[in-house]
C-alpha cells in the first residue's frame, strides 16, 4: 500500500522551491518524483528585503507568502504530473509538508518570562496552498519546538537518521544550503543524535559572486579556486562569537548578513574579488570542519547534501580538512543533494499527520519530543 507525502523546501539561498513526492511504504523512503521552480529575480529581491526591517513589511510579507504558495502549487502540479506514470495521483497523497521561507530566526529567549520566548518566522500561506491544491497541508514546523524552549532548527537530523543512519558506523551529514547544518548520527542506538548550524553555507559566497560576476553562484567553485586565501580576513570572519557557542545552536541571515560581511571587509577593500571569494569558501569549509571535529570526530564518513555539494572547490577543501574521514555527496547514498531537505519535510509532514514527534531534543534543546506543524485540511 502506498504511503505518500509531498515535501516542499525553499531555503536560505533563495534560489527557488524544491519539491519531492516520497513513498514511505518500503524499508527506506523512495522519491517518486521531484520538481524545482526558480524564483524570479524580482521575487528573490523582495525576499532579501524582507530579511531586514523595511517600510510596510507586514503587507509585503503577506503578499510574498501568497506568491510563495502559488510557486509551491505549481511545483506540486509538476510533481503529480511526473508521478502519474507510476500510478500515483493526488488521491494517494496524505499531506504536503510546506516549510515556507524563513525571514526571521530568533529562537533565543530574551528573558525568563513567557513573553521573552524567542520566535522563528517563515513566510507562507498554507491555507491558500490547501485551496490551490485540494490537499492537506502541514506548515509552521519550527514554532512548536521554539515554544518548548528549543532552537527550532535544525529539524532535518531526525530524517537524516532514518535515511542515512547506520548500525555499523557513526556518520555525519552536512547540509550546505544558504546556511550549513550538521547531523551526527551515532551507530549506537542509545547515543543521542546531535545537530546544529555550523554557520554560513552558500549565502555569503553566492552574494559576493552575484555582486562581482553577475552570476547567482560560483559554478563548481571555479572562481574561488582562481583566487588565493587571505589569512587575516579568514581569521576576522572566524572571530565571531557564534562559533564558540556550545550546542544546541542555530543561526541564519539575521546574523550572517551582507551588512555583517561588509563590516568585516572594510580593511580589505583593496583586495581582489576572487581572493575574497576564495576566503569566503574557506570560511564555510573551516566552520564545517570545526563542527565535525568538535562533535562528530568519531564519524567514518561525511555525507554532503544541498547546493554546496556541487561546489567542487568547497568539497575539496572539506576533504582536505580530514585525514581519515571520507567526504561524499548524498547521491552516492541514495538521495540526490537537492532532494534531501524537501524529503525531510515530507517526512515531517507524515510525522505530523500520524501525531508522532518530529523534533529531537538532543539537537534543538527543546523540553521534550513534540509533534511539529499545523495542519490545514484540504
Asked whether the domain spanning 157-337 has the same topology as the one spanning 4-153+339-376, the reply is yes
Residue 116: what pLDDT?
58
Whole-angstrom distance, CA of residue 334 vs CA of residue 322? 23
Residue 48: what pLDDT?
83
Residue 189: what pLDDT?
87
Mean pLDDT of residues grouped by 10 in the chain (378 residues)? 93 88 95 95 88 80 96 97 97 97 81 63 97 98 95 96 96 97 95 97 97 97 98 98 96 94 97 98 98 96 98 98 96 97 98 97 96 97
Whole-angstrom distance, CA of residue 200 vs CA of residue 310? 16
The domains of the chain are located at: 4-153+339-376, 157-337
Q: Which helix H or strand E contains 196, and what residues bound it?
A: strand 194-200
Q: Which residues pair with residue 35 across a beta bridge?
A: 19
Three-state DSSP class for residue 2: coil
CATH for 157-337?
Answer: 3.30.420.40
CATH for 4-153+339-376?
Answer: 3.30.420.40
Residue 111: what pLDDT?
44
Name, in order, each residue with C-beta under 8 angstroms of 38's C-beta and a sequence gap of 6 or more. 15, 16
SS3 content of the chain, % helix, strand, coil (to 5): 45, 20, 35
Render pLDDT for 88-144 as a digit per residue (tens, 0 to 9). Answer: 999 999 999 999 999 999 897 544 444 556 899 999 999 999 999 999 999 999 999
Residue 12: what pLDDT?
79
Amino acid at each position: 500500500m502506498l504511503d505518500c507525502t509531498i515535501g516542499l523546501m525553499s531555503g536560505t539561498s533563495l534560489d527557488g522551491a524544491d519539491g519531492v513526492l516520497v513513498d514511505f511504504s518500503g524499508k527506506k523512503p523512495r522519491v517518486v518524483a521531484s520538481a524545482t521552480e526558480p524564483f524570479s529575480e524580482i521575487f528573490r529581491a523582495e525576499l532579501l528585503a524582507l530579511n531586514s526591517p523595511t517600510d510596510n513589511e507586514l503587507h509585503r510579507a503577506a503578499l510574498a507568502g501568497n506568491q510563495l504558495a502559488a510557486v509551491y502549487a505549481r511545483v506540486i502540479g509538476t510533481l503529480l504530473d511526473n508521478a502519474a506514470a507510476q500510478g500515483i495521483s493526488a488521491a494517494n497523497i496524505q499531506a504536503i509538508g510546506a516549510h515556507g521561507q524563513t525571514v526571521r530566526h530568533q529562537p533565543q529567549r530574551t528573558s525568563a518570562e513567557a513573553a521573552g520566548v524567542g520566535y522563528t518566522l517563515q513566510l507562507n500561506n498554507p491555507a491558500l496552498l490547501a485551496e490551490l491544491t485540494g490537499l492537506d497541508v502541514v506548515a509552521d514546523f519550527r514554532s512548536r519546538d521554539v515554544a518548548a524552549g528549543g532552537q527550532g532548527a535544525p529539524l532535518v537530523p531526525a530524517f537524516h537518521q532514518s535515511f542515512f543512519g547506520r548500525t555499523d558506523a557513526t556518520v555525519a551529514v552536512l547540509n550546505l544550503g544558504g546556511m550549513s547544518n550538521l547531523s551526527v548520527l551515532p551507530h549506537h542506538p542509545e547515543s543521542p543524535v546531535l545537530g546544529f548550524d555550523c554557520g554560513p553555507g552558500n549565502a555569503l559566497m553566492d552574494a559576493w559572486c552575484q555582486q562581482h560576476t553577475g552570476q547567482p553562484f560560483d559554478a563548481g567553485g571555479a572562481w574561488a579556486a582562481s583566487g588565493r586565501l587571505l589569512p587575516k580576513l579568514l581569521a576576522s570572519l572566524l572571530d565571531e562569537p557564534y562559533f564558540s557557542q556550545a550546542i544546541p545552536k542555530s543561526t541564519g541571515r539575521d546574523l550572517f548578513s551582507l551588512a555583517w560581511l561588509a563590516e568585516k571587509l572594510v580593511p580589505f577593500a583593496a583586495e581582489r574579488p576572487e581572493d575574497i571569494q576564495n576566503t569566503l569558501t574557506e570560511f564555510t569549509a573551516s566552520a564545517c570542519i570545526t563542527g565535525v571535529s568538535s562533535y562528530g570526530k568519531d564519524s567514518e564518513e561525511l555525507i554532503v547534501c544541498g547546493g554546496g555539494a556541487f561546489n567542487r572547490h568547497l568539497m575539496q577543501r572539506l576533504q582536505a580538512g580530514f585525514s581519515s574521514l571520507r567526504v561524499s555527496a548524498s547521491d552516492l547514498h541514495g538521495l540526490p543533494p537537492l532532494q534531501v531537505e524537501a524529503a525531510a519535510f515530507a517526512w515531517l509532514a507524515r510525522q505530523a499527520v500520524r501525531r508522532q514527534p518530529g523534533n529531537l531534543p538532543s539537537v534543538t534543546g527543546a523540553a521534550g519530543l513534540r509533534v511539529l506543524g499545523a495542519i490545514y485540511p484540504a
